[in-house]
């Protein structure tokens, strides 16, 4: 269906592959070539693909996106609101149009035993360290966007937290798109985080735009949590509402590890996130929290999969959506309990609030259980604001618009309250206040 667009990416790859970071390293070339081969084989997903039946990528595939240029030298701190202060006290890696911007970054607070650097530097200078790690978490049969990211992987963040290291300051990855230029651009952020045994870290990814230009962000993050490691991961996606965002988070967990993922999707004309968590050994625990807020004609798609492959593992998933205007959301949560995963405890819930008659949600919670000694549940709800609750607030002197905003805020804030890091929780509560109480998301039913 998209043969011409597919061939354009293949031609671009052939022209720039030798000059990509690590291009002289044989195994790096093999990884990239395998990504391109996979992309040539399957191309872009179509509505005929079961996992993409509700998300049409034609607006992305028919557009010609050029590789994003390195333009961070013209950007300063005053242009990026989040860089004006550092309330989180984080160690920051900043990327502009997918390229590392050392002048805007702050990596001075890293303790001994922790390495945070651009992936391009790691590929050029520490390639041997990445050979058995990069790409291991991403399923081979995933969609063409992930294959395309692998083919063009060049920059992003490489994080290594040594054994028994408790990293107190969060690691913050900030991806800024300028959305400028005569031709729409695409960036391919690729992040790899490895937490060795007994280590602990907080990782936060942000995706934002300086303008309303049309561009594509095609991002992949891999996290490896070894024995007893603990990871709190946050992703805040607030791209331009004219832009496209396709992201993937892939997590491999080992014995007694704990990984909590928190995903918030606000921006993007089309925004898709794939989250795959694999519990490989006894005692692994995974918590998945998510919030998506759509307005106008936005399309937000969340596909999650948790693979229980070992006994006595726990997973808990809690996603909420708020949709207004003519926006549409997709949620597909799949939990697979394999034959050897006895004594699994897996819980999943997806709740959605529709603020207008034209808003739409397609939700599909799914359990596949091949073991007999398990404790599993799943469910989904779709509803509107309760008229009685609105009337009650109005009877207390609150106007209808404010009443609707307060109820919507309370619904969404239920996810934020699950965030363990207070400074991040406070920031996102403020973000919700600005978006839901003072923004344009609160609508009356027609």
The closest of 172, 306, 316 to 251, measured between CA atoms, is 306
Average pLDDT over residues 278-297: 97
**Residue 299 within a domain:** no
Query: Does residue 8 or residue 434 have the better pLDDT?
Result: 8
Q: Is residue 293 part of a domain?
A: no
| Predicted pLDDT at 421 | 85
200 domain-assigned? yes
Which of 13-17, 194-198, 356-360, 438-442 has the weakest average pLDDT? 438-442
pLDDT (tens digit, 9 = 90+) per residue, 361-417? Answer: 999 999 999 999 999 999 999 999 999 999 999 999 999 988 999 999 999 999 999
- Give 441's pLDDT tier (boundaries 50, 70, 90): low
Helix or strand holding residue 293 (H, E): strand 285-294
Q: By the 8 A CB rule, do 68 and 186 touch?
A: yes
8 A C-beta contact, residue 343 and residue 374: yes
Of the candidate ranges 24-33, 70-79, 304-313, the one whose mean pLDDT is the lowest: 70-79
CA 66/CA 209 separation, integer angstroms: 17
Residue 263 domain-assigned (yes or no): yes
Q: Assign 88 a pLDDT band (cuts: 50, 70, 90).
A: confident
- Could you report the per-residue pLDDT of 177-236, keeping only the tens digit for each? 987 767 899 999 999 999 999 999 999 999 999 888 899 999 999 999 999 999 999 999
Token code pair at residue 137: 């978490």
Tell me which H or E stretch contains 127: helix 127-130
CB burial of 185-210 (b: ≥16 within 10 Å; e: otherwise) equals bbbbbbbbbbbbbbbbbbbbbbbbbb
User: Looking at the domain assignment, is residue 320 inside a domain?
Assistant: no
Q: 3-state DSSP call for residue 230? A: strand
Q: Which two tokens stand for residue 77?
A: 């701190």
Instruction: For residue 157, list its beta bridge partners.
Output: 118
Q: How far is CA 394 from CA 136, 404, 411, 443, in A?
A: 55, 10, 18, 16
Average pLDDT on 308-313 reads 98
Average pLDDT over residues 307-329: 97
pLDDT band per the 50, 70, 90 thresholds, residue 99: very high
Helix (H) or strand (E) holding 334: strand 328-337
- 1 pLDDT more than 70: no
Q: Is the pLDDT of residue 444 over 60?
A: no
CB-based burial, 299-324: b 16+ in 10 Å, e otherwise: bbbbbbbbbbbbbbbbbbbbbbbbbb
Weakest-pLDDT range from 86-90, 221-225, 302-306, 345-349: 86-90
Q: Tell whether the model's pLDDT for residue 446 goes beyond 50.
A: no
Q: Is residue 223 part of a domain?
A: yes
Give the residues across from 317 on adjacent strands: 288, 348
Give the pairing of strands 157-161 and 171-177.
Answer: unpaired
Q: Dmax over Cα atoms in the chain, in whole Å?
A: 71
Query: 415-426 pLDDT, tens per residue?
Result: 999 998 888 888
Domain extent at residue 85? 3-281
Residue at 211 is within a domain = yes
Query: What pTM did the predictor assign?
Result: 0.94
The per-residue pLDDT for range 148-177, each reduced to its tens digit, is: 999 999 999 999 999 999 998 999 999 999
Cβ atoms of 151 and 28 closer than 8 Å: no
Query: What is the Cα–Cα distance from 381 to 165, expressed in whole angstroms?
Result: 41
- Return the higher-pLDDT residue of 177 and 442: 177
CA end-to-end distance (rounded Å), the chain: 38
How far apart, in whole angstroms, are the C-alpha atoms of residue 300 and residue 307?
23
Band of residue 90 on the pLDDT scale cut at 50, 70, 90: confident
The token duo for 22 is 């690590």
| Residue 252 forms part of a structural domain | yes
Over residues 36-79, the pLDDT tens digits come to 999 999 999 988 899 999 999 999 998 889 998 776 666 776 67
**pLDDT of 324 higher than 50:** yes
| Residue 122: both structure tokens together | 């790691």
- pLDDT 10s digits, 113-148: 999 999 999 999 999 999 999 999 998 788 999 999
**Closest alpha carbon to 425 in 289, 243, 286, 306:** 289
The helix (run of H) or strand (run of E) holding residue 5 is helix 3-16
Beta bridge partners of 53: none
Count of structural domains, the chain: 1
Q: Please say whether the dihedral angle defined by the alpha carbons of residues 9, 10, 15 and 21, taken in this order, is positive or negative.
A: positive
For residues 229 and 198, the answer to whether their CB atoms sit within 8 Å is yes
């Amino acid at each position: 269906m998209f043969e011409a667009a597919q061939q354009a990416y293949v031609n671009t790859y052939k022209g720039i592959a030798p000059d990509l970071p690590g291009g002289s390293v044989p195994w790096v070339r093999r990884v990239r070539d395998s990504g391109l081969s996979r992309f040539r084989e399957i191309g872009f997903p179509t509505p005929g693909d079961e996992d993409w039946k509700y998300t049409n990528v034609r607006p992305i595939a028919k557009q010609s996106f050029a590789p994003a240029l390195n333009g961070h030298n013209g950007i300063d701190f005053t242009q990026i609101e989040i860089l004006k202060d550092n309330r989180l006290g984080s160690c920051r890696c900043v990327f502009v149009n997918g390229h590392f911007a050392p002048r805007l970054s702050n990596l001075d607070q890293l303790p001994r035993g922790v390495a945070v650097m651009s992936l391009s530097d790691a590929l050029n200078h520490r390639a041997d360290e990445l050979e058995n790690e990069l790409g291991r978490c991403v399923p081979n049969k995933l969609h063409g966007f992930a294959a395309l990211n692998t083919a063009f992987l060049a920059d992003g963040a490489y994080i290594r937290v040594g054994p028994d290291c408790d990293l107190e300051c969060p690691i913050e990855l900030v991806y800024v798109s300028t959305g400028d230029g005569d031709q729409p651009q695409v960036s391919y952020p690729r992040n790899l985080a490895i937490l060795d045994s007994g280590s602990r870290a907080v990782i936060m990814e942000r995706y934002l735009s300086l303008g309303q230009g049309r561009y594509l962000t095609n991002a992949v993050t891999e996290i490896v949590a070894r024995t007893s490691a603990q990871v709190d991961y946050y992703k805040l996606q607030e791209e331009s509402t004219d832009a496209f965002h396709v992201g993937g988070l892939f997590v491999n967990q080992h014995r007694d590890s704990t990984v909590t993922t928190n995903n918030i999707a606000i921006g993007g004309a089309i925004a898709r996130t794939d989250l795959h968590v694999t519990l490989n050994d006894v005692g692994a625990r995974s918590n998945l929290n998510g919030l998506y807020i759509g307005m106008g004609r936005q399309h937000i798609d969340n596909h999650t999969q948790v693979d229980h492959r070992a006994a006595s593992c726990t997973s808990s998933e809690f996603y909420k959506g708020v949709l207004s205007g003519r926006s549409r959301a997709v949620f597909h949560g799949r939990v697979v309990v394999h034959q050897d995963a006895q004594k699994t405890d897996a819980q999943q819930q997806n709740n959605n609030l529709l603020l207008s008659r034209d808003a739409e949600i397609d939700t599909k919670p799914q359990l596949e259980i091949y073991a007999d000694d398990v404790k599993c549940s799943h469910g989904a709800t779709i509803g509107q604001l309760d008229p009685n609750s609105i009337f009650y607030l109005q009877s207390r002197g609150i106007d209808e618009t404010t009443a609707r905003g307060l109820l919507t805020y309370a619904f969404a804030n239920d996810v934020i309250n699950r965030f363990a890091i207070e400074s991040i929780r406070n920031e996102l509560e403020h973000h919700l206040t600005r978006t839901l109480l003072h923004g344009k998301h609160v609508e009356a039913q027609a």
